[in-house]
Structure 1
Amino acid sequence: MSFKKLNPEIKDALITNDIEAPTSFQKLFLPKIKSGIDIYGIGKKGVGKTTAMIIGTMQMLGSKAFEDAPRALILVEDKQAALDLQAAFLEFTSRTDLRIYTAYEEHDLEKQKEEIYYGQDIVIATPKRLNKLFFLNAINVTQLKLFIIEDAEFAIKAKYYNDVIRVPESLEKCQFLIFAEELYPKLQRLDDLFMFNAMTIKV
């Protein structure tokens, strides 16, 4: 797949970021995300997983803000990973009205609840903070399209695992995307929890 079928906002961002053609991973991944299937995206650093995720998320959300409830939730390991991913998104979304929010333990919980309530399209969160917000009913998931775990190696660590699986197990309907360098056996255990019939894209 070339970039020709992407919406205009993404094409403009690709030009701004001097990206002329998709990587091998992106050629495989981008057509599949449109189908709605759950996906394990596996590849070493540098194959373009994060850019593929950003492009795919923007495409699925129409590159436009919509109402108040988040339409994409992205789990990352910690505050720095959340801020880094937000910065990466902003390189592509600066000419759109998509709202991208980070939620992590080092920020006031009540302030986060308020800021999410007033409208966000994409929420990038650490596992513990997302769980707290979710089970306090501070995140409306009725419009949720995508649940993503970025650099998912952290998710198999004992201190994160239970927090990682709690929210997805409670979601009735959305598309799950997991990105990692390797498909570790403990990641594959998610097949029995919420990654039902997921396909693997690996380069």
Structure 2
Amino acid sequence: MPFKKLHSDIQEKLEYLDIIKPTPFQSSSIPVIKSGANVFCTASKGSGKTTTLILTTLQKLKCEAVGNAPRAVVLVENKERAMELYDAFLMYTKHNSLRVYVGYEQLHVDVQKSEIFMGIDILISTPKSMNKLFLLNGVNISELKIFSIDDAEFLIQNLAYTALMSITKSIKKCQFVLYSEQMHPKLKRFESFFMEYSKIVSI
């Protein structure tokens, strides 16, 4: 039972939300992600990928704020998805000290830089916005522990793919977890770059 081995704060929140039993995908993926390996997670819509992303991020950060630099990054396709995921994270972080921040292209990069500088734990962003922050030294990645990509099919587009490759070149030591419905050949290519020695969980 993967939920039984999660942080007590997460278990309490799951109980409050009446989420008792993990989906088959969660049973398979959570222990592998918790092990610290780079993971390609592929499963159909509705299998619990987003909840898995949130739970494993919270687990990695031990449900508490530390320092000022982000320790988790979640990359998404666009502003709409960023806001959806931000709201989903808030359901789980409402009663702990974790600070979640959302950035996207429409929000001026200087605003993002100054707000991130104030101190965050989890950064949700789009590839273009994140890459711009990197180029302007707007985000400190020295404390990064986990980098997740939600619904990663959007990375098949050249602009998003190029932005991600640029971002990951600067990251030295970090766990990468990529979620998608199918394993596209272009996503598999990441194995030669930042997804070294990765494992695959497919349901």
TM-score (norm 1): 0.97
**1:152 counterpart residue number:** 152
Unaligned runs of at least 5 residues, structure 2:
none
- Tell whether 2:58 aligns with 1:58: yes
Correspondence list, 1:178-193, <5 A:
178-193=178-193
Contact 1:38 1:176 (C-alpha < 8 Å) held by counterparts: yes
Where does structure 1 differ by over 6 angstroms across 4 or more consecutive aligned residues?
A: none
Contact 1:147 1:168 (C-alpha < 8 Å) held by counterparts: no
**2:77 counterpart residue number:** 77
AA of the residue aligned to 2:174: C
**1:95 counterpart residue number:** 95
**What is the Cα deviation at residue 16 of structure 1?**
1.9
**2:139 counterpart residue number:** 139
| SS in structure 1 of the partner of residue 155 of structure 2 | helix
AA of the residue aligned to 1:187: L
CA distance in 2 between partners of 1:202 and 1:91 (Å) = 27
Q: Deviations over 1:43-64 (max 9, x none)?
A: 0011101101100000010000
**2:26 counterpart residue number:** 26
CA distance in 2 between partners of 1:72 and 1:169 (Å) = 17
**1:116 counterpart residue number:** 116
Contact 1:3 1:22 (C-alpha < 8 Å) held by counterparts: yes
**2:161 counterpart residue number:** 161
AA of the residue aligned to 1:82: A
Contact 2:76 2:152 (C-alpha < 8 Å) held by counterparts: yes
**1:16 counterpart residue number:** 16
AA of the residue aligned to 2:39: I
| SS in structure 1 of the partner of residue 178 of structure 2 | strand
Alignment root-mean-square deviation, CA: 0.9
**What is the Cα deviation at residue 2 of structure 1?**
3.5
| SS in structure 2 of the partner of residue 200 of structure 1 | strand
**What is the Cα deviation at residue 4 of structure 1?**
1.4
Q: Deviations over 1:86-127 (max 9, x none)?
A: 011111111111101011111121111001011000000011
AA of the residue aligned to 1:157: Q
Q: Deviations over 1:145-194 (max 9, x none)?
A: 01111100001112311012211122110000000000010100111111
TM-score (norm 2): 0.97
Q: State the identity %.
A: 43
Unaligned runs of at least 5 residues, structure 1:
none
